[in-house]
Structure 1
Amino acid sequence: MKANRKLNFRKNNKGQVGIGTLIIFIAMVLVAAVAASVLIQTSGVLQQRAQQTGSEATQEVSSNIDIKSIEGVRASHTDDGLSDTVDLLRLQLGLQAGSSPVDLNQLVVTITDGSVTNTLTYIDEEHVKDDDSWTDNLERIMTDDDAATTEFAANDIRDEDESFNQENPVMNTGDLVNLYIASASEEGSGEGYSIEIDGADSSDGTLTNTGLTIDPRTEVGIVMTPEAGAISQATFVTPSTYGVTDIVKLYP
């Protein structure tokens, strides 16, 4: 054996060169860039949609009106005493914890006595009065033929942040509001009947017949649909007798 063996490596000095290889390389870079651009754009759109969906879902579960109580007001006659029906409903409303603000201008209220259903919105902006004369709004829904079956009135009880006023009725968490729904029946809207409640007095005009008849033992349903958020509803059966009081506790 030889002391020093000469290693013989096979040499391959050939390689692909030329314009063809360059074109293939550039094409690969362009394809990768286009694919990356599409992926980035798609992920951005999906992220925006996910954020929007999450925000809307949060609103839907957090904007809840809390119906704390409902009272019925009976009209009184100058000679015959109290009517046999509930002729105005006063609802005390608040917001549940964590709820987003609720604009009553966008609230839709539906009330039914099982036979007649009225769908109501807030006082029309052309007729709404300011805070100093808000009782005109309440008197309007009791005596105006158009408003009685299409509008509701509201006034704040507690509003520490001053977010609520007659022209911009926005409820925040912690606010308490009275909402009024006209419900005068054919009897309660007769001549001589009137309602005096919370500073408002309908004695200057005849109560408007709303088509509703809330007698004793009547099942009444009220549904409130805000602009965003879950609906709130209250269903109750009126007492077997209204007794001799002009204000009747109905709910809860």
Structure 2
Amino acid sequence: MNTILERLKGGLIVSCQAYEDSPLYGAEIMARMARAAEIGGAIGLRACWTQDIEAIKSVTSLPIIGINKVIKPTTDPVNDVIITPDYESASVICETGVEILGLDCTARKRSYDDIANLIAKIKVNYPNILIMADISTLEEGLHAADIGADIISTTLSGYTTYSRQQEAPDIALVRDLYANTDKPINAEGRYWEPAQVYSAFDNGAWCVTIGSAITRPELITRRFTQSIEKYWQNKQSHYQEGGS
């Protein structure tokens, strides 16, 4: 078994990413976020873009899942492949020395043969880097396993129109992948509570990745403020109905 995979088994990966519209945007801030995650016990990190990855590597030795989100003015976030969509976007991430490359392996606007050729080219030129396949359905996960992915991740469940749409994590996809492939499974997407993480492990996850619930304070704050708003609305309704 690959030593990197062994390091990740049973642990938490923290995704440290911020877009330009976030107050936390910037390589130095993401490096601080990554260091904080390591202090908190994370066993791996997920990071985007070369400048962030290089900054993070300067402050921690944790394994990094590197991705390259390519977003253009014409990008359709639902139907276009954004996460490391081609060899050029993959190679610049691999050159940073990441241990794992995150790759969208959904067959949107391309075939599984196209993805297989991309994975094969990456493996020829970067044989020591593992490939994590970001998928949204069981079919995509099984195809990714067959065409050379080393880790299967549920990252994109709910982010494609044809995958399961729900607020909670897609535990069923974790379970189905575990039952149908021997590749390690990374459970990712909408994990907010420890109980959800336990459920992922109970259903076969090798590791769990959490982003927003740890590294996006604006979303964490919004969860609380929206909950408080509902609290006061329910309180008001109760009084209006004659409650005490």
TM-score normalised to structure 2 length: 0.23
Instruction: Give the structure, 1 or 2, with the largest relative contact order (CA under 8 Å, sep 6 or more).
Output: 1
Whose helix proportion is higher, 1 or 2?
2
For the pair shown, which has the larger CA radius of gyration, 1 or 2?
Answer: 1
Whose strand proportion is higher, 1 or 2?
1
TM-score normalised to structure 1 length: 0.22
